[in-house]
Structure 1
Amino acid sequence: MKRVHTALAVVAIMTLLAGCSASGGGVKPTDVNPDGEITPHEISWLLSRPADGATIAIFKQLADEYAADHPGFSLNLITTPDRPSYIQKYQTLAAANKLPELFDTDATPFAQELAKTGQMMDAEALLKDIGVYDDYRANALDYQRFGDGSLYMIPLQFELEFFWYNTALFDKAGVSVPASLDDFPQLCAGLRAAGVTPIAVDGQDQWPLERYMAFQPFRLAGPDYVQGVRTGMSKISDETGQRSVDWLSGLANARCFDDGFSSTGYSDAQALFTSGKAAVYNIGTWELANLATNELDAGVRQDVDFFTLPTVDGAKTAANEYSVSSGIGMAVNAQKYDPLVRDFLKFALSKYPAAYAATGALSPTTNVQTTVPGNATPLYQKALDAADDLGTNLAVPWDTQLDPTSNTRLQQELVLLMQGNSTAENFIDRVDSTIAENAPKFFG
């Protein structure tokens, strides 16, 4: 995945810090119920979501309903599904103080700078003010929080990430579901010996590969470990990081990933699994329609199951705590917040969960029930039920936590390590050095 060059990010942040006090209009981030008339006008939303996805379709419908009672209102959707292109547009507009009323963002260091400079509304205060805060899943809200616990993004989805696996291929190789993360190299070796590709991974986009970097530290040290790494307070050379890199090296030696994984794209990785050529595929419930309905190839449909992130000896996190996300969040621009924006959000957020759940997706709230599609396999309901048995700790994606340059270097070094083209020692040295050089620009 391409990342915006650090220089652009730094310049954008410096511009914001220099210009925020001079910018006019808007309200304080906590002034969630401003005085004044509700005057209909166009509002815009800068998004990074599939143009044909449920969220956009539902908000279009809700905007039309709201406009029927508020002539002059319209919702302008500025869609850039390609995430790297979106990030560049988002940061460029932020640097120029030209973000629209609503915009998508992860809980990244860049977004936290926006919040610190008063550019984003306090989402917790806003959700409480319009009376929907208590409806949200705690995990959905927590995923959107910054490291200090503050909440400036509104979740619009809820996803659980599983290891999907082919039971027939496991039986063929005489292997079983790993009881520990440390069992993965042996699992891969058994599958390879049976002529089976162990794990399909989208190495081209790199973020799926980065998930594997996060697994061991989450189990060994808990979710706060990455907060120390990203600021340089903790190092990959520490015991937790060293064990993670050693584990990754074990995966590489056992040839766990598909041959040529670095050039395997998202759809190619999924096809390897759904065609029965790969035994394991780590992906989230956003793919339920492809993995747990009759859309899945009939040749493998009865052989697909899933398991959650295995634990390790001495784990700091529980078996029911793993990668759970609420996707990219919706932020509200404090400079353009007014009574109309508040009123529309109150209207939309009260209706959105039911409409979203009706599409077969997990809602970020608990006050609605997901509609299971008629063509679903039993695995669909099993996945939904898992959402009701979750712990409080989340394995957050590292790509939303590290500064851009350090994240890019980590992704590059991961590919080299997993290809066998770099040693664990070189990996640790290069990543730690990059973080030490660049983290102070964001967290110093």
Structure 2
Amino acid sequence: MSNRLLTGLLMASSILGSAGIALAQDKTLTIESWRNDDLAIWQEKLIPAFEKANPGIKVTFSPSAPTEYNAALNAKLDAGSAGDLITCRPFDASLELFKKGHLADLTSLKGMENFSDVAKSAWQTDDGKASFCVPMASVIHGFIYNKDAFEKLGIAVPATEDEFFAALDKIKADGTYIPMAMGTKDLWEAATMGYQNIGPNYWKGEEGRLALIKGDQKLTDADWVAPYATLAKWKPYLGDGFEAQTYPDSQNLFTLGRAAIYPAGSWEIATFNTQAQFKMGAFPPPVRKAGDTCYISDHNDIGIGLNPKSANAEAAKTFLTWVASPEFASIYANALPGFFSLNSAAVKMEDPLAQEFVSWREKCKPTIRSTYQVLSRGTPNLENETWVKSANVINGTETPEAASAELQKGLDSWYKPAK
């Protein structure tokens, strides 16, 4: 064998050996998720951006059907076959996983300093001392309106409750549009887009929510009854037969241009953009009177955590630190308009309606839905009971005072605030 050939073979062997070592060092991370609707966003935008910046770490997004996720994930975790990264639902479901040792403590993870206490609250222990998921996105409540209808009727965007009801009166008097598209048949719509939408302006957001958990306030206090009194005034503006109107009915009434205002969650943005043939705008829940501080429900929706049994924990932490970065926040929020970054770094939204929603963070104080943390762990479940009472109040079958008293009675039957 010639020296030249021998040298060539040795070089080839060395190169192949190096490639083999590099391949052996590659880590592959698997993400468990219920969000099968955003598979393309992960595959086409998020994962390529991460892998480009982190050669040697590969990522696979492996979603389950939303209705099957909890059961499937728990089965995998119990069997030791779950992925490295666990997409986290907010509050109690993820807290239970942490208590069982299925989510790692991420309190000291680099990047967690980029999130406020409110942002982290859905994935923390009750005492706030341990965080176990990186916050990814929230949804914001407010009102989406038909700009063409407002311009046609000469209505200015309302900032106060008096202006809001004056606008509804003007729309109703004209008769062209149903003033507001919301039904009560599905129950949750009345609570989520009604009570939890306007309520924070009454109970002062986090101040009232935390006071309720501590037992310093009750649902029978004036600031918790008053939003129901306001909801009761919505009834004349919801159109004929709203009691039998489902959530999809409400969506269709608005996107077909038959209603002027839609009490909304920001998750509607992408769908409405494809269906509505008119210009849309949005405004935050009107304050009670001019000069009041405004509050918005900026509700934590999705996070991501680490499986403690992952064989690739360090690579997974690298990925989670990237999820906590402004780069991830910008890509994710713009790929899914209406699901807003919880990162403290401001994210400029490309979608104008989404940008309108997220701009409220600059002038209003954020809070989360009052029933979601701690207060819905027992029976009767406060969240589900709030659906029923909100619908009853709007339908006029129960007074605000009676509804609030029943809710507090149910809560008192099982919940004893820690003192």
Distance apart, 1:288 and its partner CA? 3.9
Note if contact 1:201-1:282 (Cα within 8 Å) is conserved in structure 2.
yes
Please point out which of 422, 431, 434 is paired with 2:410.
434
Q: Tell me, in whole angstroms, the C-alpha distance in 1 between the residues paired with 2:118 and 2:214.
A: 24
One-letter amino acid matched to 1:69? G
Q: Tell me, in whole angstroms, the C-alpha distance in 2 between the residues paired with 1:246 and 1:257.
A: 19
One-letter amino acid matched to 1:274? T
Please point out which of 303, 311, 323 is paired with 1:329.
303
Q: Tell me, in whole angstroms, the C-alpha distance in 2 between the residues paired with 1:414 and 1:262.
A: 15
Please state if 1:179 is matched with 2:159.
yes
Note if contact 1:181-1:216 (Cα within 8 Å) is conserved in structure 2.
no
One-letter amino acid matched to 1:323? S
SS of 2:135 mapped into structure 1: coil
SS of 2:293 mapped into structure 1: coil
Q: Tell me, in whole angstroms, the C-alpha distance in 1 between the residues paired with 2:128 and 2:74.
A: 23
Note if contact 2:118-2:367 (Cα within 8 Å) is conserved in structure 1.
no
Distance apart, 1:403 and its partner CA? 0.9
Residue ranges of structure 2 left out of the alignment (5+ in a row): 1-23
Please state if 1:283 is matched with 2:270.
no
> Per the alignment, do residues 421 and 62 of structure 1 end up closer, same or farther by CA in structure 2, a change over 3 Å counting?
same
Please state if 1:394 is matched with 2:370.
no
2:65 corresponding residue in structure 1: 80
Please state if 1:219 is matched with 2:222.
no
Note if contact 2:138-2:299 (Cα within 8 Å) is conserved in structure 1.
yes
- Tell me the alpha carbon deviations over residues 171-208 of structure 1, each in whole angstroms, 9 at most, x when there is no partner: 66665543323654554444333333222236566444
SS of 1:156 mapped into structure 2: strand
Note if contact 1:360-1:370 (Cα within 8 Å) is conserved in structure 2.
no
Q: Give the 5 Å matches for 1:253-332.
A: 254-256=236-238, 259-260=241-242, 263-266=245-248, 268-291=249-272, 295=274, 297-298=276-277, 300-301=278-279, 304-313=280-289, 318-319=293-294, 321-332=295-306
> Per the alignment, do residues 431 and 269 of structure 1 end up closer, same or farther by CA in structure 2, a change over 3 Å counting?
same
Q: Tell me, in whole angstroms, the C-alpha distance in 2 between the residues paired with 1:233 and 1:87.
A: 34
> Per the alignment, do residues 395 and 134 of structure 1 end up closer, same or farther by CA in structure 2, a change over 3 Å counting?
closer
Please state if 1:246 is matched with 2:229.
yes
Q: Tell me, in whole angstroms, the C-alpha distance in 1 between the residues paired with 2:411 and 2:342.
A: 33
SS of 2:367 mapped into structure 1: coil
Q: Give the 5 Å matches for 1:47-66.
A: 47-48=34-35, 50-52=37-39, 54-55=41-42, 58-59=45-46, 61=48
> Per the alignment, do residues 431 and 156 of structure 1 end up closer, same or farther by CA in structure 2, a change over 3 Å counting?
same
How many residues align? The count is 384
Distance apart, 1:65 and its partner CA? 6.2
Q: Tell me, in whole angstroms, the C-alpha distance in 1 between the residues paired with 2:409 and 2:124.
A: 28
- Tell me the alpha carbon deviations over residues 274-293 of structure 1, each in whole angstroms, 9 at most, x when there is no partner: 221111113344444455x6
Note if contact 2:282-2:353 (Cα within 8 Å) is conserved in structure 1.
no
> Per the alignment, do residues 435 and 139 of structure 1 end up closer, same or farther by CA in structure 2, a change over 3 Å counting?
closer
**What is the percentage of aligned positions where both structures have the same residue?**
18
Distance apart, 1:122 and its partner CA? 3.3
One-letter amino acid matched to 1:279? A
SS of 1:282 mapped into structure 2: strand
**RMSD after superposition:** 4.2
One-letter amino acid matched to 1:103? I
> Per the alignment, do residues 55 and 406 of structure 1 end up closer, same or farther by CA in structure 2, a change over 3 Å counting?
farther
1:411 corresponding residue in structure 2: 387
Q: Tell me, in whole angstroms, the C-alpha distance in 2 between the residues paired with 1:443 and 1:104.
A: 30
Q: Give the 5 Å matches for 1:93-242.
A: 100-115=83-98, 119-126=102-109, 128=110, 132-133=111-112, 135=114, 140-141=119-120, 148-150=127-129, 151-157=131-137, 159-170=139-150, 176-181=156-161, 184-185=164-165, 187-195=167-175, 196-201=177-182, 203=184, 206-211=187-192, 212-222=194-204, 223-229=206-212, 234-242=217-225
Distance apart, 1:39 and its partner CA? 8.0
> Per the alignment, do residues 324 and 42 of structure 1 end up closer, same or farther by CA in structure 2, a change over 3 Å counting?
closer
One-letter amino acid matched to 1:156? M
Q: Tell me, in whole angstroms, the C-alpha distance in 1 between the residues paired with 2:207 and 2:76.
A: 31
One-letter amino acid matched to 1:423? T
Distance apart, 1:408 and its partner CA? 1.3
Distance apart, 1:406 and its partner CA? 2.1
> Per the alignment, do residues 297 and 242 of structure 1 end up closer, same or farther by CA in structure 2, a change over 3 Å counting?
closer
Distance apart, 1:381 and its partner CA? 7.8
Q: Tell me, in whole angstroms, the C-alpha distance in 2 between the residues paired with 1:297 and 1:323.
A: 25
1:383 corresponding residue in structure 2: 356
Distance apart, 1:247 and its partner CA? 1.7
TM-score (norm 1): 0.69
Q: Give the 5 Å matches for 1:350-369.
A: 352-356=328-332, 359=335, 361=337, 363-365=341-343
Distance apart, 1:411 and its partner CA? 1.0
Looking at CA atoms only, which structure, 1 or 2, has the larger radius of gyration? 2
One-letter amino acid matched to 1:333? N
> Per the alignment, do residues 78 and 165 of structure 1 end up closer, same or farther by CA in structure 2, a change over 3 Å counting?
closer
> Per the alignment, do residues 210 and 217 of structure 1 end up closer, same or farther by CA in structure 2, a change over 3 Å counting?
same
Distance apart, 1:371 and its partner CA? 6.6
1:422 corresponding residue in structure 2: 398
TM-score (norm 2): 0.72
SS of 1:50 mapped into structure 2: helix
Note if contact 2:95-2:123 (Cα within 8 Å) is conserved in structure 1.
no
Distance apart, 1:217 and its partner CA? 4.0
SS of 1:236 mapped into structure 2: coil
Q: Tell me, in whole angstroms, the C-alpha distance in 2 between the residues paired with 1:276 and 1:247.
A: 25
1:13 corresponding residue in structure 2: none
> Per the alignment, do residues 137 and 262 of structure 1 end up closer, same or farther by CA in structure 2, a change over 3 Å counting?
farther
